[in-house]
Amino acid sequence: MVHSKSNPLLSPYHTPFATPPFDKIKTEHYEPAFEEAIKQLNEEIIAIADNPEPPTFNNTIVALERSGILLYRVSSAFFNVLNAEGNDEMMEISQRISPKLSESSNNIYLNEKLFHRVKTIYKEKEKLNLSTEDNRLLDETYDSFLVQGANLDKKQKEIYRKLSSDLSLLNLQFEQNALKDKNRFELLITNEEQLSGIPESIRDAAQKLAKDKGKEGWLFDLSAPSYTAFLRYSDFTDMREKMYREYMSVGNKDDEYDNKDTIKKIVNNRLHIARLLGYKDYAEYILKHTMAKSPQNVYKLLNQLLEAYKPVAINEYNAVEGFALETEKKELKIMPWDWSYYSEKLKDIRFNVNDEMTRPYFELENVKKGVFELATQLYGITFKQNKEIPVYHPEVDAYEIYDEKGDFMAILYTDFHPREGKQSGAWMNSIKPQFKGIEGDDGRPQVVIVMNFTRPTDTKPSLLSFDEVNTLLHEFGHALHGILADGTYSLLTGTSVYRDFVELPSQIMENWLIEKEFLDQIAVHYETGAKIPESLIQNLVDAANFNTGYQCCRQISFGLLDMAWHTITTPFEGDVVEFERNAWSPAIILPEVSGTLMSSNFGHIFSGGYAAGYYGYKWAEVLDADAFSVFKEKGIFNKDVAKSFRDHILSKGGTEDPEVLYKRFRGQEPTIDALLIRNGIKK
């Protein structure tokens, strides 16, 4: 056991801006720090619940919101590192600590004396003359108790405790199975002829990956830059098929990392929780606290989009297949492992643009600088790298952020490249939330954006694909939501908003990438310093809606799959593969492939917090297209529009109902018209 005085997680942070001392934190420090933090939180909760004074907004609601600061500090450091630089020892700690975190949460929400105080204040709310933000905090606090079992009887509470503890472990098990299964696959190519079709930049990256692992040749794995590039460019159908089947069978190999049984346990556990709390299914339970409000409204949106986009997607599939037939001069059916390959070739011919033409203009450091400059143009904030801030890996950079007056705003960490211990995908996390008023402190946020981008090679810097630049803008949008937060309570600031609203600030940033004015600023050749040619910019803009019908149907299929798993009303004991096939079939465009399974690697819904919420990407896309139409009308760098978006959306977090916030910015209800126009579906 590490003594608390020698544990950097339990001591004051003597670092720039009180950032986590990652350089001093060792794996052995986490578990005792969790134990102490949980102990402190339990003591704080007992003190609030046992307070002899009558319950007031300040001594109960605010005191509760301010509790657990140490636990947040320890948790944010641990889980950020676990997801971005994890190892077996940290995974084992997460397995041990997860039930204790669930128990700690249950000790709050199932505490009868504490709930009595909260309920007493809630019943008196009309007499309290609270501010809008205070009123929101009271509502959210009361609702949190209800949805986490406060109204259950004693026997039901014990069942809820067991279910929630089991569920947290199952989520972890799912995530770790997928990561370990994904990491064990490698495709090593030693014959250069088998690299046919693969561009030099991708070959260099594969050669460096092999070299880093002490191997000769070119190594491809299931990380995003490697996998997507291989499917897009390799001339060998059989090798593309092998990669595709490996990726689409992660967690589905009937071995120690198989996730099918875990999926059954997760969805049945969630259903049990929902039924225990009085809901028909888990989706109904989750969606009560979203903009969508109900499964019916989710399906209404998905079906509305499907009706508009599926005919377009079918035409796109036929066009790609027709192109392939013409190219190969033989009968063939476009399979999923063929789609990216032939789509890329068709796009190149139609628009004279592809990733290898644009990569030299999207050098990572320059793109990052351009994205930072966009934030300066819109919101007046500036970025300054600070190499004295400790980081959890040498590849991570830390930046200080200042507002237009020169006042300190936030810390941003950036982590760009795949590693063996890093989860796939991209995400933004909060290490410290924004808040006001704890002992006079204005707590400024610390956020991290994590990605899996193409690595630099021995001869070239990191050169990004168009999609990777898009991903950076997306995650940076989440970061801005945290950085520009301006609320009193951390529970309501930054990205602490409804799941189907949280993607608006991220997805709206993607719009700038197909704007000539922005591309002209951000895209500079890494060798010559020349700006991207006007003709290439125009080609990128023209190609923006290439296969947009397919892309939309793909997202709808994920939303349908998610909703299907979470609208079951009786425990699921069937075949996971068959269930998936039936669930998403209305939106599937490419042929089904036997032996493949998406669900077993669908971390968003089985370990990542998007259960009954994946539709939120499409919900927010309607909002982002509608919101960006204001920028399109008044200027994409218009400071007045940016100020309005900052004041009404970014700075407000969850302090008010998102529908109210959005209408205050937009002046009207959103419609899908702007999205249909942007995608070329509607004139």
Q: Dihedrals φ, ψ of 671, to 5°?
A: -130, 170
Q: Dihedrals φ, ψ of 412, to 5°?
A: -120, 125
332: helix, coil or strand? coil
HSE-up of residue 647 (Cα within 13 Å, Cβ side) = 10
3-class SS string, 448-515: EEECCCCCCCCCCCCECCHHHHHHHHHHHHHHHHHHCCCCCCHHHCCCCCCCCCCCHHHHHHHHHHHC
Tally the residues of the chain: 683
Tokens read off for 87: 């190892």
DSSP for residue 421: T
Phi-psi bin for 246: left (phi > 0), alpha (psi -120 to 50), beta? Answer: alpha
Q: Identify whether the C-beta of residue 9 lies closer than 8 Å to the C-beta of residue 73.
A: yes
Q: Identify whether the C-beta of residue 424 lies closer than 8 Å to the C-beta of residue 452.
A: yes
90: helix, coil or strand? helix
Q: Identify whether the C-beta of residue 429 lies closer than 8 Å to the C-beta of residue 411.
A: no
Active-site residue flag, 284: no
Tokens read off for 549: 């019908």
Q: Identify whether the C-beta of residue 227 lies closer than 8 Å to the C-beta of residue 243.
A: yes
Q: Identify whether the C-beta of residue 195 lies closer than 8 Å to the C-beta of residue 189.
A: yes
Active site residue: 31, 140, 356, 475, which one?
A: 475
Longest dimension (CA), the chain: 84
For the four alpha carbons of 81, 85, 90 and 91, in that order, the dihedral sign comes to: positive
Cβ neighbours of residue 158 closer than 8 Å, sequence gap 6 or more: none
| Cα–Cα nearest to 667, from 637, 634, 636 | 634
Among all residues, which ones are annotated catalytic? Answer: 475
